[in-house]
Amino acid sequence: MYATGKMVALLERDKGVKWPDVLGCGAYPFLIVSERVKEAWDREGVGGFPMEQIEIAAPLPKKLVGTVPPGYFWIDGARLRGALTDFVASGFVGVRFCPECGTRTDNIPETSMRRFAQGGRWPYVFREGTWNGLNLFTTDISDCKFFCAEAVVECARKYKLTNFRFVPIEDGDDVRSRGLKYM
């Protein structure tokens, strides 16, 4: 399956008290940003990323009934491949790619044991010379796992953009990472 075009989002009725600049998505790991984020990125020259509109469907969350949601967009990570991963240095075991669809898999139990044996913290490492300089990009890990340059963090800080979670690359996917305090 591959997402294309305009999407419709149905929000949980019991969550949300204000409209954030980044919406979480549990059904599929989209990166969904508000119009405010898009405008800030445009003003700061962070990048014109491939985006498609998200329509917020009724009913709205209870505490947001009577408000007007901002415009939201999902970012197409499949069109933002910006680096290749050094899977061994990043702690993955048995990485394979499907020759038909290109989907990556790894030996999840072995990868977990390897990382646990090393304290659970494995940095993401990109293969030398493969980053193309984009400020926001995906890798061959997944079209839905986004990485960013400092320009994205600084823009979020400057414009006080809400609900981002920036995890230092050195933390990899360590669940204990608290992320960066950018505001």
In tens, the pLDDT along 7-56 reads 999 999 999 899 999 998 877 788 999 999 999 999 999 988 999 999 99
Does residue 96 lie within any of the structural domains?
Answer: yes
Omega within 30 of 0 (cis) for the link into 59: yes
Whether residue 73 lies inside any domain: the answer is yes
Judged against a pLDDT cut of 80, whether residue 70 lies above it is answered with yes
| 180 is a domain residue | no
3 half-sphere exposure, CB direction, 13 A CA radius:
23
Q: How many residues does the chain have?
A: 183
Among candidates 28, 38, 22, 36, which has minimal Cα distance to 7? 28
Residue 29 lies in a domain: yes
Question: pLDDT band for position 84 (50/70/90)?
Answer: very high
CB-CB contact of 54 with 108 (8 Å)? no
* pLDDT in the model for residue 161: 98
* Type of residue numbered 27: A
**Which tens digits make up the pLDDT trace of 87-120?**
999 999 999 999 998 889 999 999 988 888 877 7
Is residue 21 situated within a structural domain?
yes
Burial zone of 27 (CB within 10 Å; 0-12 exposed, 13-18 middle, 19+ buried): exposed
Q: In the numeric block, which tokens belong to residue 36?
A: 């405010």
Burial class (CB in 10 A: 0-12, 13-18, 19+), 38: buried
In a domain, 64, yes or no: yes
Domain that holds residue 81: 7-171
Whether residue 110 lies inside any domain: the answer is yes
Q: How many CA atoms lie within 13 A of 30 on its CB side?
A: 28
Domain count, the chain: 1
Percent over 70 (pLDDT), the chain: 98
Q: What gap in Å lies between CA 93 and CA 116, rounded to an integer?
A: 13
Phi and psi, residue 108, nearest 5°: -60, -45
Q: Which residues pair with 138 in a beta bridge?
A: 81, 146
Per the prediction, the chain carries an average pLDDT of 92
Residue 1 domain-assigned (yes or no): no
Q: How open is the CA angle 82-102-1, to the nearest 5 degrees?
A: 95
Residue 174 pLDDT = 82
